Structure 1
Amino acid sequence: MPQLAPHIFELLHNQGVQHAFGIPGDFALTLYDALAESKIKPIVMTHEPCAGFAADAYARIRGLGLAVVTYSVGGLNMVNAVAGAYAEKSPLVVLSGSPGVRERRERDLLHHKVKTFDTQRRVYEEVSLYAKTLDNPTTADADIHRALDYAITFKRPVYLEIPRDMVYAEIEEAEHQPPPIKRTDSDALTEAIAETLEMLNRAASPVMLVGVEVHRFWLQEKIVMLAEKLGVPVCATMLGKSVFPEGHPQYIGVYNGEVGHPYVRNIVEESDCLLMLGAFMTDFNLGLFSAHLNPASTIYVTSERIAIKHHEYPNVRLEDFITALCSSKELPHHNPSGITPMKPRVAPANGKMSMSSLLYELNQFIDSNTVVVTDAGDVLFAADDIQTQEGTSFLCPAFYASMGFGVPSAIGAQLADPFRRAIALVGDGAFQMTGMELLTAKRLELNPIVIVVNNSSFASLRMMGHQNADFVNISSINYAEFAKILGGQGFVIETAQQLRQAFHLARESDTFSILDVRISPDDLSPASQRVAYLFAKTLKG
């Protein structure tokens, strides 16, 4: 009979999980013993939120991530990061140690307890798709398989709580029952494809808008094939940036309503057939709801909902729809030669550094061996004008938008894909939340490049009409010197020449680098300038 925790780790390793992020604690020590004995390498972080962010980024690249924490003080400390993974559909497995089954019965007032022994599990029910305490050897195996199936199938976090006296408990193997997923109704699929083909064949200016689910469900190759068969312009949402190769001749840029580039906005909003595949229609993806999309010209396809004009097709899976459409012989073909890629709204530095010149130099530096991670704030909106070189080479929290995502996610990304260099673009406010995690990068001999936009403020709050408020100003340090204290290398950047030299030295380094880019608090990325304008316009009514 298999033992509970070793069985879980074996199943996770078989799914491609090679690293587990977390922090041990007394209720999780036995669980960490089992982890250390497994084929999965424990990655001990400095703070549980960082463990959650790193595991989230790992999951976005590998297809499954793992965080292992202790009871309450660890698990509850990580809730925010797991909430972000849930909101943005990242398949993260959370394992938490907890008080033993026997001691729960015999000792009511154990440390780390909040309200009841089930408090943490009930909290996780709100930020995960499946949450279970594994306290029954008879049902544990079925619960484990169900949790992993839910995470892999629905691309959401799941939570398993393991009492410390159950870690090595022998459990009964259960017959594997697949999760109750949505099944495609063949007649509904036929009707949906027919209506889609009718719209595409009638349209004079169709456009594809692709989102993050294209990556989550591993549909990139089919999407590229579909785009090339149609010969139409392709754009992405901010959350889905890089799921379609940005060097492809049909790719025109990120669509983000009035926040985004006018060229992309006009092509999308003037289209007479907008094929939206795997895209979340959130306020960030729609330029703070400044988008003007005509439902009568829209085909909206996600894993949760398919709507074509005003018709709903609830019993059709995203994967089946895209596969059927891609293989159809009735697809029209348009001449793609007239498609012009969007040119980033950036320019070389004229004197001191600006966000525009920083993005310009970053675009020159990025290559096919790079994965870019941005944090929340101005750097997130700045992604509109970043040009990546490979599919799925960009990660960001563009829906949940939690600050602190960037640095730990760069670590998770580099462990998930060791063949690509991670670059984190973070504001100084976000860096102060999770930048200490570079100690972990040093210990693991990782070499991410962290660009800190040093403007001594929460720039995203300043652009919301609070330029003169005291609470948008933050403390500042010399981040280049801080890098050296942590064991890496640091560079103060005030000119484009200094930035180019720092990029060169950072690329050649085998340790992490912090590029301390000094920018005025009033300077914003091109996209954030549009956000500021929209906020001001909203405030004026």
Structure 2
Amino acid sequence: MNKNRPNISEHLIQRLYEYGARHVFGVPGDYILNFYARLEKSPLQVINTCDEQGAGFAADAYARMHGLGVVCVTYNVGGLKLLNPAAGAFAERSPLLVIAGAPGWQERQKFPLLHHKVKEYDDQLSMFRRITVASTDLNDPSTAYQEIDRVISEIITQKRPGYIELPRDMLDIIPDAEIPPIRQKKSDFDVTRHHDTIEAIIAAINEAKQPVIMAGGGIIQYNLVHALEIFAEKTNIPIVCSILGKSAIDERNSHYLGVYAGIVGDDDIRRYVESSDCLILLGVLLTDVDMGANTAIMNPDALITLSDDCCHIGRQSYPGSGLMFLPEIIQRKLTVHETSGCPTPVRDKMAAFTPGDAPVTTESLVLALNSVIDEKTVLITEVGDAVMMSLDITIKRPGGFINPAYYSS
């Protein structure tokens, strides 16, 4: 056995750092205390919260901003509180890693009833398997390195949560196995393989009379903000965002109009979007919330849908991850479109905030918030009214608006 290899806990911490995590949220408990001690001595900063569910939501928000969020808790009484945040992260495509301590593998064999156990020792693992893209129990040292890498890589690639269960007697074990190279992000994009699809997309866009770009959360998740900016600049096509996609672009951008969500939002923007003969959906989740309680009116024949898991031109489906085509599309020859009937952006309709002694109203609060937001501000809203009242606020940085409006927890 090579003593220069890291033990299981060291490898896990090293991989978290290599994949971009700098903070870990959570609540310590006895089955995870020794791992917490190692975290405290690592380059990662531990953020303790008052409750495990709160730690999960904080890590989810962190994931949406930084590409990987990590939450660490104890067995069952801590872990089961994270089912709700993990479910929300799965529904809204957030790369969240849940690390949960567990009884040691040897003590499980010896003692049938250890505290925090529900029915079977693997109950927690079984529940998380339903709402994660990858999960594992690090009970086999020979595969521990590979399992850690597999789970984190799938989280990063699929932009959805994963789960690692860490038995407390496995922390210091040094696997008798080679350390695998860090996994690179997978991509199914190949220009030659998708040439005809890309040409069909470009032809539909170039021939359109009133195209509109609708940007969703996938733009932020896949680091396509700059590609979106170039696309709009080259084509002069106006941009709207879905509710989950709000702040997919700096909302001072000259092409940005506002949020479109059916009857929710500005009427002029709604009419313009719904009369478009080419509505280009980029990373949009077509949820009932994003569609204004299903009041959105979009002609299926006029849609180009490019998401992380599909590609559609009208009613025709094409293979591949359509959203990944955007960097290639902006390299091609694109028509510059006229926008003579384009509505006034919402930001230009907002009144200036004037401080005074009048009672605070929803409208005055929105104007006040709009007046203080700058390029460093991230606005995090509660679900419900707080989301809806904030849609017209001008967010001055990509990814600067965070809301769990679809899962709504």
Which TM bucket (shorter chain)?
Answer: over 0.9
CA contact (8 A) 1:139 1:174 kept: no
The answer to whether residue 376 in structure 2 is matched with residue 369 in structure 1 is yes
User: Does the 8 Å CA contact 1:346/1:356 hold for their aligned counterparts?
Assistant: no
- Matching residue within 12, 37, 40 for 1:36: 40
Distance in 2 (CA, whole Å) between partners of 1:327 and 1:185 is 14
In the aligned structure 1, how far is the partner of 2:188 from the partner of 2:395?
36
DSSP-derived class of the 1:385 partner: coil
Amino acid in structure 2 at the alignment position of 1:270: S
How big is each residue's C-alpha offset from its partner over 1:117-136, in whole Å with a ceiling of 9 and x where there is no partner? 10001111122111100011
User: Which residue is 2:153 aligned to?
Assistant: 149
After TM superposition, list the pairs within 5 Å mapping 1:108-123 onto structure 2: 108-123=112-127
State yes or no: 1:395 paired with 2:407: no
**1:102 alignment counterpart:** 106
- For residue 337 of structure 2, what is the amino acid of its counterpart? H
Q: Distance in 2 between matches of 1:228 and 1:350?
A: 43
1:274 pairs, out of 255, 273, 279, with 279
**Of 327, 332, 337, which residue of structure 2 is paired with 1:323?**
327
Query: Does residue 286 in structure 1 map to residue 300 in structure 2?
Result: no
Matches within 5 A, 1:237-316: 237-316=242-321
Aligned length in residues: 400
Percentage of identical aligned residues: 37
Question: Is 1:382 matched up with 2:389?
Answer: yes
Who is 2:188 aligned against? 183
Return 181-190 or 37-46, whichever deviates more.
181-190
SS at match of 1:166: coil
1:165 matches 2:172? no
Could you list the per-position Cα deviations for residues 20-46 of structure 1 after superposition, in whole angstroms to 9, with x for gaps in the alignment? 100110111111112112111111110
3-state SS of paired residue (2:219): helix
For residues 394 and 232 of structure 2, what CA distance do their matches in structure 1 show? 19
Q: Name the CA distance, whole Å, in 2 between partners of 1:188 and 1:85.
A: 32
TM-score by length of 1: 0.71
Letter in 2 for 1:99: P
CA contact (8 A) 2:346 2:392 kept: no
Q: Take 1:8 and 1:99, find their aligned partners in 2: how far apart are those partners?
A: 18
Question: Which of the numbers 333, 346, 349 marks the counterpart of 2:336?
Answer: 333
**Quick check: 2:23–2:46 contact (8 Å CA) kept in 1?**
yes
Whole-angstrom distance in 2 between the partners of 1:144 and 1:173: 13
**Which is helix-richer, 1 or 2?**
1
Out of 195, 217, 226, the residue aligned to residue 221 of structure 1 is 226
User: Match for residue 72 of structure 1?
Assistant: 76
Q: How does 1:45-56 map to 2 (within 5 A)?
A: 45-56=49-60
Aligned partner letter, 1:135 = N
Cα distance in structure 1, aligned partners of 2:124 and 2:143: 20
Q: What secondary structure is seen at the aligned counterpart in 2 of 1:121?
A: helix
State the distance in 1 between where 2:11 and 2:397 align.
36
Distance in 2 (alpha carbons) for counterparts of 1:255 and 1:293: 11
Task: Render the CA deviation track for 1:207-263: whole Å, top value 9, x for unaligned.
Answer: 100000100011100110011001011010111101111001110000111112111
Structure 2 partner of 1:480: none
Is the partner of 2:154 in helix, strand or coil? helix
CA separation of 1:317 and 1:182: change in aligned 2, threshold 3 A: farther
Q: Distance in 2 between matches of 1:358 and 1:129?
A: 40
TM-score normalised by structure 2 residue count: 0.93
- How far does the alpha carbon of each residue in 1:468-500 deviate from its partner, in whole angstroms, 9 at most, with x for none? xxxxxxxxxxxxxxxxxxxxxxxxxxxxxxxxx
Shift of 1:310: 1.3
Q: Does 2:65 correspond to 1:58?
A: no
Quote how far apart the aligned CAs of 1:316 are.
Answer: 3.8
- The match for 2:211 is 206
Report if aligned partners of 1:68, 1:94 keep a CA contact under 8 Å in 2.
yes
CA contact (8 A) 1:142 1:176 kept: no
Q: Which runs of 5+ in 1 are unaligned?
A: 403-541
